[in-house]
Amino acid sequence: HHRQHDDDDRPSDPVTVDGCTTAGHPSRRSRRKAPPTIASRMAPRRTGPMALLFLCLTLAPSALALVQVDYEVVCDSATEYYDTAALECISCTEGCNDDTDDPSNAVCNKEPDFTMVDFYGNALGCKCSLGYKRIWALDQDTCTTSDYQSASCTGFSCASCLNGNDDDLEYPNPFEKNENAVAYNDGDSCALCGDTTNGISGDDCGCPTNHVLTEVDDGLGYVINKTCTACTDGTAVITSDASIAGVNFYATDYQCQRCPDPHMTFDSAGTTCTCDDDYTKTGQSLYGQQSCVYTEHSDAIKQSYAETSASTVNFFKIQADQESSPSGELEMESLVMKHFLNA
């Protein structure tokens, strides 16, 4: 009598994947244990044709191909913004021929808007320059198909608020025709300079020293007249970009800025941070943010540790060149150690 084979004993059909062909599953009678190979050790512990199928997929050339793409793009911070649709830097002067009747003499009065930036610090849009208000091109008649395809249609123009904005007859100021006005900080519309200001100074309202310019009320709604308010609690208006007490400050007339330590106060000019009485400034501004330490504690530390030796680092066994033996010594002052000595 002949024993009938079960389904498990019957050979299976070969399987081909990415040029790799698996043999048919042998019968139990002819199955022999082969010595382990490197590939079999690498593959998961599976049986039958699926093990070789897995190995073929794993080692397929297409799966091993790696492509390195450099996405870093740095735009000109003075004139360009990064367009996320076009994936390139675009000048804020693009699409601004509607700002004047003579395209060859177009004056855009636009600049990058850093309210929103990408990972590399590029502006993601443009805004009107200080003193100019934004006029939206609602009908988009100035944008052609090619402008849309190149992402160069900015959708707005910028007009001056001075002299009642005579050059903007379609979107005039809500003031008298010859009444001087300035733009809001975001360029949304125009405003007047109130009695507490020094009047128009340059492209905006001017304020007395150490007074902040305000254009919104307590409810964050725009006011018609901009006002000036004195900075308090040791804060100051920074009029030019500067590094003070180890911190980078950026100029703005619309904010009273504060020193890095709660025991520090700005001078009236907003150029120096000074520690309060009974406190001593410590830290190296070239390395990081400075702070104020209680003077008694600072004096006690200086009496216990010689400041010079505490911030000195000695390097031994220095090799001057490849021919000489390492025997030299070098002594250097460490700004890191000096910065944290009294911290």
* Four-CA torsion 127, 130, 136, 142, nearest 10 degrees: -80
Q: What's the pLDDT score for residue 326?
A: 78
- pLDDT one-digit tens code per residue, 183-233: 888 887 888 889 999 988 888 899 999 999 999 888 778 888 899 999 998
pLDDT band at 261 (very low <50, low <70, confident <90, very high): very high
Q: Is the pLDDT of residue 290 over 70?
A: yes
Average pLDDT over residues 173-185: 67
- pLDDT one-digit tens code per residue, 60-115: 544 444 555 556 788 998 889 998 888 899 988 876 654 445 544 456 788 898 88
Q: What's the pLDDT score for residue 169?
A: 47
* Four-CA torsion 178, 179, 183, 189, nearest 10 degrees: -80
pLDDT band at 148 (very low <50, low <70, confident <90, very high): very low
Copy the structure tokens of residue 298: 């600072």
- pTM for the whole thing? 0.57
**Is the pLDDT higher at 51 or at 208?**
208
